[in-house]
Each structure stands twice: as structure tokens, then as C-alpha cells.
Amino acid sequence: MLDPKMEKAINAQINAEHYSAFLYLAMAAQFADLGLAGGQQWMTTQYKEELVHAQVFFDYLIERGGRAKLEALAKPGTKWASGTKMFEDAYAHEQKVTSLIHDMASLALELKDHATYNFLQWFIAEQVEEESTASDMLQKFTMAEEHPAGLYQLDKELGARVFASPSIYAW
């Protein structure tokens, strides 16, 4: 059985992951409006990953005897000035998610909830990759955005990303 503090934290993370998904879907819509199908593909893939993360937290909560409490989500932004600005926001958002997961891991240790601490290790490693990927895309957009040929090439690279269910959870 989960400690009520951990149950509350996991519920908050489920809602945070859903917000992340909607944020990336909003960015996919903005890329579509800009005529950058590769950027749309990249953000749609990110959206799907965030939904899987929310489901993994949900399933873990239920498995541990917790009760899921879904909340209304804040409305994500809908307009960004450029691809660079979207990836600036994506990178900052991933840093925020990292801090949320680190806080949960600290709480798990404080509560001596070793099962949850162990469960969170995949997410801790995943956030290293999430931040690195967003930072890499931000750097590439910063270099390419003022150069149409560079932006074209970058959009092709972004379009090559496809969704693959993470190893922690296969549907």
C-alpha cells in the first residue's frame, strides 16, 4: 500500500504527464501551421510518449493499491513565434518534469518506499534523454532557423522520428 503522500505525488505526476502530452500536441499543431511536417511528426511522437508515461504511472498507482485522481489540465500555449521558441519551451518543460520526478524519488527515499524508488529509476534515466534531445533540437533550430535550406534539412530529420513504445511498458 502506498503512503498517502506518495499516492498524491504520483497522481500529480499522472496529471503532469497528460499536460506534457497536450503541450506537445499543441506544438505539433503549430508546426503544422508553419508547414513543417517533420516538426509536426516529431512533436506528435513526443505527445504519444507522454501519454505512455502517464499510463505507466497510472498502472503503477493502481498496482500499489492507490486511487487515481485525474484533475483538469491547464491549457497549454497555442502559438509560438518559431520552431526555436517551441524547443526552448520544450527544453524548459523537460527540466521542470525532471525536477518533479527527482522530488518524487526523494520522497520515496524519505518514506522508505523502495519499490517506488526503484520504479522511478527508469523515469530518472528517461529524463536525461528527454532533456538531451530537446537541447539538441534547440541547438539545431538556433543554427538552421534563419537558413531555409538548413531548416528544410532539419525538418526532414525531425520527420524521421517514429513512435516506439518505451521498454518500460509495451502495449
Q: What is the CATH number of the domain that holds 33?
A: 1.20.1260.10
pTM over 0.85: yes
Q: Is the dihedral of CA 62, 68, 74, 78 positive or negative?
A: positive
Q: Is residue 53 part of a domain?
A: yes
Total domains in the fold of the chain: 1
pLDDT tens, residue by residue, 33-82: 999 999 999 999 999 999 999 999 999 999 999 999 999 999 999 999 99
Neighbours of 34 (CB within 10 A): 16
Q: Is residue 98 part of a domain?
A: yes
- Domain residue limits at 138: 4-70+80-159
The whole-angstrom separation of Cα 55 and Cα 51 is 6
Q: Is residue 16 part of a domain?
A: yes
Q: Is the predicted pLDDT of residue 170 greater than 50, yes or no? A: no
